[in-house]
């Protein structure tokens, strides 16, 4: 009787040990899976932050030159959202970043939208006309002294925008044949926020 009693105890202990070993093995396996999942998650997050966000969503841009004074100054740092133009959501007076010589070239300009797709733009003296009516705006730092190719009416195509810098005397923009109307495909995004200098931090108008 006693021997049988001890044998039962021995079997029970062995069963508990095997159960503990299995449990530890499962815990180790679960821990490894958890580590792998975490690694994959952070790797995807890294790729998203490093590539997807600046390529398709938002990106920092630096102003180069005085063509947007007094609104923007040379070396101002801006955040540019890159979604609006895909859905034709750009509006008159939006500040945009575009590639005047195509996306193959790295050079980009920052200007303000004056004329929208399908509109006719003309500059007479110091005034801008849209579809034959004077455009009411006060963004220009100085009066317009050069109409350029806009001295004659320019009718924009369904995917074109007429852009000008706020510093009208020095801005190289759609008034010049080398730039001309900007196609939607060459627009890189809409400037929405100035992040530097800090004393001018805020949304752009």
* Residues noted as catalytic: 67, 111
Please tell me the distance from the alpha carbon of residue 173 to that of residue 109, in angstroms, as a whole number: 9
Sign of CA dihedral 203, 84, 161, 131: negative
User: Do residues 187 and 85 touch, judged by C-beta distance below 8 A?
Assistant: yes
Please tell me the distance from the alpha carbon of residue 174 to that of residue 156, in angstroms, as a whole number: 11
**β-strands 160-164, 95-98 pairing:** unpaired
Please tell me the distance from the alpha carbon of residue 199 to that of residue 195, in angstroms, as a whole number: 9
Specify the long-range contacts of residues 131-137, CB closer than 8 Å, at least 24 apart. Answer: 137/93
Please tell me the distance from the alpha carbon of residue 184 to that of residue 102, in angstroms, as a whole number: 11
The conformational region for residue 102 under phi > 0 = left, psi -120 to 50 = alpha, else beta, is left
Q: Which of 197, 199, 198 is nearest to 63 (CA)?
A: 197
């Amino acid at each position: 009787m006693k021997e049988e009693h001890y044998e039962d105890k021995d079997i029970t202990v062995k069963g508990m040990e095997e159960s503990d070993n299995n449990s530890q093995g499962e815990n180790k396996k679960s821990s490894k899976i958890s580590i792998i999942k975490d690694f994959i998650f952070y790797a995807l997050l890294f790729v998203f932050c490093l590539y997807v966000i600046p390529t398709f969503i938002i990106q920092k841009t630096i102003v180069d030159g005085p063509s947007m004074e007094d609104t923007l100054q040379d070396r101002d740092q801006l955040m540019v959202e890159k979604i609006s133009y895909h859905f034709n959501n750009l509006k008159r007076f939006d500040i945009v970043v575009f590639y005047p010589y195509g996306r193959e070239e790295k050079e980009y300009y920052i200007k303000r939208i004056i004329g929208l797709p399908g509109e006719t733009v003309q500059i007479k003296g110091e005034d801008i006309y849209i579809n034959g009516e004077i455009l009411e705006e006060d963004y220009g730092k100085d009066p317009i002294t050069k109409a350029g190719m806009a001295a004659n009416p320019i009718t924009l195509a369904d995917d074109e925008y007429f852009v000008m810098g706020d510093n009208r005397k020095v801005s190289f923009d759609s008034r010049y044949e080398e730039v001309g109307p900007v196609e939607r495909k060459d627009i890189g995004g809409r400037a929405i926020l100035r992040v530097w200098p800090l004393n001018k931090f805020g949304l752009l108008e």
